Amino acid sequence: MSLEGGLAMATRKKKGSAPEERLEADRRLLELLAAQCGEEAGLHRPLNDVTGGVITGIPEETDLAQALSDRETSDLLVHLLDQNREQVERALERLREGAYGICEGCGRRIPGARLRYQPAATRCVECQAHWDRINGRTA
Ligand SMILES: [Zn+2]
């Protein structure tokens, strides 16, 4: 797999490495969380504290331990973690292609404010909403 090569290439150009660092950190965190979910580790903290707001689509006050004790919520959580990790990896891919910050849907530049809030975004708000509708996602 060319992941290593791609990463090395992306890290070589120092300019604008901030979103990449944040995305890599997000990815590591999501992998860690996914592992913890698998082990059903009881973390008695609000989920958003644990995730640092990385995961979208989970109610803010959801407690991870509580979520994991409920099979259905736990499955949803694992699903969301997967989905979010996928999105982060997609953004990293775009970064390596030099297309980071360009909407996958309409090809226009994604507003900087959106990227600061959601660094893994690969679509503008309009295209993301459209895509979510097509794919049946509510996040
Ligand atoms: Zn768009």
Phi, psi (deg, nearest 5) at residue 56: -100, 150
Q: Give me ligand 1 centre to Cα 130, in Å.
A: 9
Identify which of 25, 4, 27 has the alpha carbon closest to the alpha carbon of residue 85.
27
Q: Give me ligand 1 centre to Cα 121, in Å.
A: 11
Residues less than 5 Å from ion ligand 1, measured at CB: 103, 105-106, 124, 127
Q: What burial class does residue 130 get, using C-beta atoms within 10 Å of its C-beta: 0-12 exposed, 13-18 middle, 19+ buried?
A: middle
Spatial distance between the Cα atoms of 51 and 25, rounded to a whole number of angstroms: 11
Q: How confident is the model at residue 109 (pLDDT cuts 50, 70, 90)?
A: very high
Q: Give me ligand 1 centre to Cα 132, in Å.
A: 13
Q: Is the pLDDT of residue 99 over 70?
A: yes
Question: How confident is the model at residue 48, as a pLDDT?
Answer: 53
Q: For residues 11 and 20, is the Cβ–Cβ distance under 8 A?
A: yes
Spatial distance between the Cα atoms of 81 and 67, rounded to a whole number of angstroms: 13
Residues 10-48 have pLDDT tens digits of: 444 445 568 888 898 888 888 877 776 655 444 444 555
Please identify which residue in the block is written with the tokens 């331990």: 65
Spatial distance between the Cα atoms of 26 and 89, rounded to a whole number of angstroms: 10
Q: What burial class does residue 8 get, using C-beta atoms within 10 Å of its C-beta: 0-12 exposed, 13-18 middle, 19+ buried?
A: exposed
Q: Give me ligand 1 centre to Cα 129, in Å.
A: 9
Average pLDDT over residues 114-124: 91
Q: Give the residues across from 63 on adjacent strands.
A: 46
